[in-house]
Amino acid sequence: MHCACEHNSLDFILCFFKYNDNLCVLTNPSLSWSPLHIAVNKNSIQAVSALLKYKININLQGKNGVTPLHLAAQIKSNSEGQSILSLLIENGANPNSLDNDFETPLFSAIHSNNVNAVKELIKAGADVNASNKHKMLPIHYSCKYGCSDIVAILLDNNAEVNIIDHNDLSPLHYAVARQDKKIAELLIRHGADPLIRNSSGKSTFSLANQEMILVLRKAVSNLNIYKKRQDALLEAEAKVKYIEETMKNIENQIKFEEEEELFIEEEEEEAGEMTEDERVRFEAFKQGVEIQIAEMQSDMVGQIKDLVKLILDIRKDINKKKRGT
């Protein structure tokens, strides 16, 4: 069976299965691969299709723990190779299977700069943030190799952008080390920290040439602008909170005034039944309440003025942002 797949002998493959449908296994450890591994490696869609019609383990691991999908992901993106990858996925191949280096087929696709395979594997559920035994993620390798198209795909699928690997380097470190302006700017647009440092205290600036230093400085400047905007937003939120609390306080004061006025009106209606001493005390109480209400009204006027000033300040800030100043 192994030889039949090696030489793409479809008739022999079908003949073997006719007499024994349990041949697609690692019958000899020295062979390292199953017939399916061999068919995929030979880029034979016919042989792969024939094998998949029978009950075989599509995720069987060969040498170094490699599955057929790992091999298919390495095949450059011609129509035949892409068909094999699709066929394996459609028949249940695991896009997150691990080889002995804890690498998924997505790593294999990136090592081969196979953009179409990367797209298809991610669509099938490949974990873009899976790490291998070196604590490296797919995005580390794609930045290290300068695969800008793959970097963009990974970032669009929520790849972690500030993760540190076993070399103590972030994806941005790798891009800057290559002096790859395109990838560096792409990473920064997706949140890469230009000031990130490794455990030795070295930032990306230590790896940059003059052109790349300009890119990083611009990123730091934009980061400072963003921080200022965040601070302005927090200040505006604090102002809004103050306005809400002040309005609530004014409402409580108005409610208190209404209750006091109603109480005085009720007491005045009963004033005819008061003694002279009770009337004197009532008038003193009434005067005290009127003074308290006047003070509260004065406070409300001041609070309302403060609110108006705050609203005008916020409107001024909004107009400045619209003008870009």
Domain that holds residue 42: 1-126
The answer on 198 and 91 residing in a single domain is no
The answer on 23 and 70 residing in a single domain is yes
Would you say 137 and 160 are in contact if contact means Cβ atoms under 8 Å apart? yes
The answer on 60 and 111 residing in a single domain is yes
> Does 257 score more than 90 pLDDT?
no
The answer on 166 and 281 residing in a single domain is no
Domain termination residue (choose one: 126, 157, 179): 126
Query: Does residue 218 lie within any of the structural domains?
Result: no
Is residue 311 helix, strand or coil? helix
DSSP 225-244: HHHHHHHHHHHHHHHHHHHH
- Measured in whole angstroms, the distance separating CA 292 from the mean position of its chain's CA atoms is 57
Would you say 152 and 186 are in contact if contact means Cβ atoms under 8 Å apart? yes
Would you say 220 and 194 are in contact if contact means Cβ atoms under 8 Å apart? yes
Query: Does residue 213 lie within any of the structural domains?
Result: no
pLDDT tens column, 57-97:
899 998 899 999 999 999 875 555 568 999 999 999 999 99
The answer on 73 and 23 residing in a single domain is yes
Query: Does residue 228 lie within any of the structural domains?
Result: yes
The answer on 132 and 84 residing in a single domain is no
Query: Does residue 150 lie within any of the structural domains?
Result: yes
Among 21-35, 52-66, 216-230, 294-308, which range has the highest average pLDDT? 52-66
The answer on 290 and 275 residing in a single domain is yes
pLDDT tens column, 151-198:
999 999 999 999 999 988 999 999 999 999 999 999 998 988 888 887
The answer on 67 and 155 residing in a single domain is no
The answer on 279 and 291 residing in a single domain is yes
How many domains is the chain built from? 3
Query: Does residue 73 lie within any of the structural domains?
Result: yes
Under DSSP, the state recorded for 203 is: B
The answer on 137 and 48 residing in a single domain is no
Query: Does residue 8 lie within any of the structural domains?
Result: yes
The share of the chain scoring above pLDDT 70, in percent, equals 59
Domain termination residue (choose one: 142, 175, 208): 208
Q: Which residue has the higher pLDDT, 79 or 250?
A: 250
The answer on 110 and 46 residing in a single domain is yes
Domain termination residue (choose one: 105, 126, 147): 126
Query: Does residue 216 lie within any of the structural domains?
Result: no
pLDDT tens column, 267-287:
656 555 666 666 667 667 667
Q: The CATH number of the domain where 155 resides is what?
A: 1.25.40.20
pTM for this predicted structure = 0.64
The answer on 121 and 2 residing in a single domain is yes
**230 vs 212: CA distance, rounded Å:** 27
Would you say 163 and 170 are in contact if contact means Cβ atoms under 8 Å apart? yes
Please state the rounded mean pLDDT for residues 102-128.
Answer: 96
Return mean pLDDT, the chain.
77
CA atoms within 13 A on the CB side of 3: 2
Query: Does residue 192 lie within any of the structural domains?
Result: yes
Picking from 224, 207, 121, the residue whose alpha carbon sits closest to that of residue 171 is 207
